[in-house]
Amino acid sequence: MHILITGAAGMIGSKLTQALVARGTLRGAPITGLTLVDVNPPALPVGVPGAALSADLSDPAAAPALIEHRPDVIFHLAAIVSGEAEADTAKGYDVNLKGTMALCHAIAAERDYAPRLVFASSIAVFGVPLPDVIPDDQPPRPLTSYGTQKRMGELMIDDLSRKGLLDGVSLRLPTICVRPGKPNAAASGFYSSILREPLSGQTATLPVPDSTRHWFASPRSAVGFLLHAAAMDTGPLGQDRAINLPGVDATVGDAIAALGRIAGEAAVARIERRDDPAVAAIVAGWPRAFDPQRARSLGFRAEADMDEIIRVHVEDELGGKLPD
């Protein structure tokens, strides 16, 4: 079992790598090779046969070199984030679309080879107007460059899977929360900050009203989605390989209440409310909740509520310790 991960140095890529090394197997077979790729070379865990490579998939020579060794399973996570794709149109299409195209077409060019390709798509393929709860048959209508690029990738993967040139699964990941690490400039960053910072004894700023509703899963669930997509039977997907995933439908108020239950009112008091209408306007265009019946019937699982999402963060990032 040879596995290729693009975007392997990112937060999800690193956690996926750790999980694969810890398991040692995928689809019931021992992992005999792990190729990690990113624009900056990721660290290769000790004791794992494989390679850590620096490559830019928008370079036409990069993808064929990665594919010539015919990995059995490919996790395609490489992307620039929503805010950067919106601000730098050319870079967004180069990385998020041309990179995906180059990878898919390098696969399609190989004879008698149709590996499992797990593509990290996003709920950003959906844009307003949206129902309060998005059903599985909601038509994607992206209203950002990032969502457009992800939807274009999904369509191509559907087509190449239909032709038997690869065996794709596109995962429309929820907003990942709680993201570990430092605050970032993404419009969605506050969703993690208002939990992560107080749980570490720091203050955080909340730019939107408590009533703002959104759709979340933990980094641990994201890794679980990827592993499940790598191993699942794709027959039941038919010609639509893009999947709305399970998650937690929660308001900011729900998240803060869960924080209070787990870490106490002292933690809640570290959240400073400072309305930012620009952030509120961006967030207003995002999906609020899904009814992901198809994914649940296919065996995808996420947390039950914000309490569980916070407990996963405390376990996985804080060694189980809460602030004093």
* For its own copies, the closer CB: 116 or 151: 151
Q: Is 239 an interacting residue with respect to its own copies (CB under 8 A)?
A: yes
Binding track, positions 244-263, relative to its own copies; x by CB under 8 A: --------------------
Buried-exposed string 16-26: b where 16+ CB fall within 10 A, e elsewhere: bbeebbeeeeb
Q: In whole angstroms, how close is the CB of 144 to its own copies at the nearest point?
A: 8
The yes or no reply on residue 301 touching its own copies (CB under 8 A) is no
Figure out which of the listed residues 23, 27, 162, 321 binds its own copies, where binding follows CB under 8 A. Answer: 162
Site for its own copies (CB under 8 A): which residue of 41, 83, 142, 323? 142
| β-strand partners of 281 | none
**CB-nearer residue toward its own copies: 224 or 287:** 287
End-to-end CA distance of the chain: 45
Query: CA angle at residue 46 from 44 to 49, to 5 degrees?
Result: 70
Q: Helix or strand or coil: residue 190?
A: helix
Give the CA distances from residue 133 to residues 91, 92, 167, 218, 249, in Å, rounded to whole numbers and listed in that order. 33, 29, 29, 20, 9
Query: Cβ of residue 290: shortest distance to its own copies, in angstroms?
Result: 17
Minimum gap (Å) between residue 109 Cβ and its own copies: 7
Show the tokens assigned to 292.
């992901």
113 is catalytic: no
Q: Tell me the β-bridge partners of 116.
A: 73, 167
Smallest separation (angstroms) from its own copies to the CB of 148? 4
Taking a C-beta distance cutoff of 8 angstroms, is the pair 141, 158 a contact? no
Single out the residue of 29, 133, 143, 266 in contact with its own copies (rule: CB under 8 A): 143
User: Which segment (146-154, 174-182, 200-208, 301-309) binds its own copies by CB under 8 A?
Assistant: 146-154
Is residue 309 within 8 A of residue 178, CB to CB? The reply is: yes
Between the alpha carbon of residue 5 and those of residues 24, 39, 52, 66, 267, the distances in Å are 15, 12, 10, 10, 37
Question: Within 56-95, which residues bind its own copies (CB under 8 A)?
Answer: 89-90, 93
Size of the site for its own copies (CB under 8 A): 29
Maximal CA-CA distance, the chain: 61
Asked if 160 interacts with its own copies (CB under 8 A), we say yes
Please pick, among 93, 113, 146, 191, the residue that the annotation labels catalytic: 146
284 belongs to the binding site for its own copies (CB under 8 A): no
CA gap 143, 287 in Å, rounded: 12
163 binds its own copies (CB under 8 A): yes
> Cβ distance 81 to 37 under 8 Å?
no
Between residues 82 and 192, which has the closer beta carbon with respect to its own copies?
82
Q: Does 165 bind its own copies (CB under 8 A)?
A: yes
Using the rule CB under 8 A, give the single segment among 40-48, 51-59, 104-112, 272-280 that binds its own copies: 104-112
Q: Which two tokens stand for residue 50?
A: 């494989």
Residue in 73, 76, 68 with CA at minimum distance from that of residue 29: 73
Contact between 279 and 320 (Cβ < 8 Å): no
Would you count residue 311 as binding its own copies (CB under 8 A)?
no
- 266 binding its own copies? (CB under 8 A): no
Choose among 287, 297, 292: nearest CA to 244. 292
241 near its own copies (CB under 8 A): no
Tell me which of 15, 98, 294, 311 binds its own copies, using CB under 8 A.
Answer: 98
- Active-site annotation, residues: 146
Residues at the site binding its own copies, with contacts judged by CB under 8 A: 89-90, 93, 97-98, 101, 105, 108-109, 139-145, 148, 151-152, 155-156, 158-160, 162-163, 165, 239-240
